[in-house]
Structure 1
Amino acid sequence: MEVSAIFDIGKTNKKFFLLDSDFKEVYREYTRFEEITDDDGFPCEDLDNLIDWMTKVYFKMANHPEYQIKSLNFSTYGASLVHLDAQGNRVAPFYNYLKPFPEELKERFVKDHGEKHAFELTTASPFMGMLNSGLQLYYLKYTKPELFSKIKRSVHFPQYLSALFTNEYVTDFTSLGCHTGLWDMANNKYAQWVIDEGLEDLMCPVVPSDTNFLKNGVRIGVGIHDSSSALVPYYNANHHPFTLISTGTWSICMNMYNQSVLTPEELNADCLNFLNPKGLSVKASRLFLGKHLSNTAREVSEYFGVDYQAYKSLKKSGLFVSKRMEETKLLFDHSVLKPERYGYENDPAPDFSIFDSYEDAMSQFFDEITDLQIQSLRLTLGQSEVKNIYVDGGFSSSEIFVQFLADKLPEYHVYSSSFPLGSALGAAVVVNHRNLPEGFLEKVYNVKLTEAVL
Structure 2
Amino acid sequence: MDCIAILDIGKTNKKLFLVDEHYRIVWERGACFEETADEDGDACEDIHLLTRWVRESLDELTHLPGYTVKALNFSTYGASLVYLDADGQVLTPLYNYLKSYPEDLSAGFYSQYGQQSQLCSETASPALGSLNSGLQFYRLKHQQPALYSRVKYALHLPQYISYLVTGKPLADITSIGCHTMLWNFRENNYHSWVHLEGLAEKFPPLFPGNSVLPAQIGKQTCLSGAGLHDSSAALIPYLASFTEPFVLISTGTWCITMNPFNSQPLTPEELAEDCLCYLTYDGRPVKAARLFAGYEHEQEVKRLAEYYQTPVNYYQQVVFDPAIFAQLLAVSPEASRFAARSLSAFETYEIAYHRLMMDIMDAQKHSSERVIAGTAVKRIFVDGGFGRNTVYMHLLAATFPQMEVYAASVAQATAVGAALAIHRHWNNQPLPADLVEMRHYSCGSIYI
* Same fold, TM-score > 0.5, yes or no: yes
SS at match of 2:130: helix
Paired residue type of 2:90? R
Q: Which moved more, 1:180-189 or 1:297-306?
A: 297-306
CA-CA distance at 1:366 after TM superposition: 1.6
Partner of 2:123: 123
SS at match of 1:171: coil
Native 8 Å contact 2:21 2:429 kept in 1 = no
Distance 2:414 2:20 in 1: 16
* Equivalent residue for 1:261, pick from 265, 276, 284: 265
SS at match of 1:240: coil
1:115 to 1:327, Cα distance in 2 relative to 1, 3 A: farther
SS at match of 2:94: coil
Query: What is the 5 A alignment of 1:15-26?
Result: 15-26=15-26
Query: What is the 5 A alignment of 1:325-404?
Result: 327-333=333-339, 347=340, 350-404=341-395
Q: Do structure 1's residue 406 and structure 2's residue 397 form an aligned pair? A: yes
Partner of 1:342: none
Distance 1:435 1:415 in 2: 30
1:93 to 1:400, Cα distance in 2 relative to 1, 3 A: same
TM-score by length of 2: 0.92
SS at match of 1:217: strand
Partner of 2:39: 39
CA-CA distance at 1:328 after TM superposition: 4.6
Partner of 1:431: 422
Q: Do structure 1's residue 92 and structure 2's residue 96 form an aligned pair? A: no
1:414 to 1:436, Cα distance in 2 relative to 1, 3 A: farther
1:181 to 1:32, Cα distance in 2 relative to 1, 3 A: same
Native 8 Å contact 1:237 1:435 kept in 2 = no
1:253 to 1:14, Cα distance in 2 relative to 1, 3 A: same
* Equivalent residue for 1:280, pick from 277, 284, 293: 284
Distance 2:198 2:391 in 1: 50
Distance 2:279 2:383 in 1: 19
Native 8 Å contact 2:250 2:382 kept in 1 = yes
Native 8 Å contact 1:219 1:431 kept in 2 = no
Paired residue type of 2:169? Y
SS at match of 2:322: coil
1:303 to 1:249, Cα distance in 2 relative to 1, 3 A: same
**Ranges in structure 2 where 5+ consecutive residues have no aligned partner:** none
**Ranges in structure 1 where 5+ consecutive residues have no aligned partner:** 334-346
1:437 to 1:15, Cα distance in 2 relative to 1, 3 A: same
Query: What is the 5 A alignment of 1:64-79?
Result: 64-79=64-79
Distance 1:176 1:313 in 2: 42
1:317 to 1:47, Cα distance in 2 relative to 1, 3 A: farther
Identity of aligned residues (%): 39
Q: Do structure 1's residue 319 and structure 2's residue 323 form an aligned pair? A: yes
Paired residue type of 1:329? A
Cα displacement string for residues 155-176 of structure 1 (whole angstroms, at most 9, x for unaligned residues): 0111111111111111111111
CA-CA distance at 1:208 after TM superposition: 1.8
Partner of 1:249: 253
Cα displacement string for residues 243-299 of structure 1 (whole angstroms, at most 9, x for unaligned residues): 111222322211121111211111111111211111121111112233332232223
Distance 2:110 2:69 in 1: 49
Partner of 2:312: 308
SS at match of 2:58: helix
Partner of 2:132: 132
Cα displacement string for residues 400-427 of structure 1 (whole angstroms, at most 9, x for unaligned residues): 2222211211111111224552211110
Aligned residues: 437
Partner of 1:235: 239
* Equivalent residue for 1:448, pick from 395, 414, 439: 439
CA-CA distance at 1:192 after TM superposition: 0.8
CA-CA distance at 1:310 after TM superposition: 2.7
Distance 1:85 1:426 in 2: 31
1:289 to 1:359, Cα distance in 2 relative to 1, 3 A: same
Distance 2:147 2:333 in 1: 52
Native 8 Å contact 1:248 1:394 kept in 2 = yes
Paired residue type of 2:61? M
CA-CA distance at 1:308 after TM superposition: 2.0
Native 8 Å contact 2:252 2:385 kept in 1 = yes
Paired residue type of 1:96? N
Paired residue type of 2:412? L
Paired residue type of 2:28? R
Distance 2:254 2:367 in 1: 12
SS at match of 1:27: strand
Native 8 Å contact 1:392 1:420 kept in 2 = no
Distance 1:89 1:299 in 2: 47
1:28 to 1:320, Cα distance in 2 relative to 1, 3 A: farther
Cα displacement string for residues 342-399 of structure 1 (whole angstroms, at most 9, x for unaligned residues): xxxxx3xx42232223333222222211221221111111211010111123332223
1:53 to 1:385, Cα distance in 2 relative to 1, 3 A: same
SS at match of 1:407: helix
Q: Which moved more, 1:309-318 or 1:157-166?
A: 309-318
Distance 1:362 1:327 in 2: 15
Cα displacement string for residues 173-206 of structure 1 (whole angstroms, at most 9, x for unaligned residues): 1111110000111111110111111111111111
Paired residue type of 2:380? I
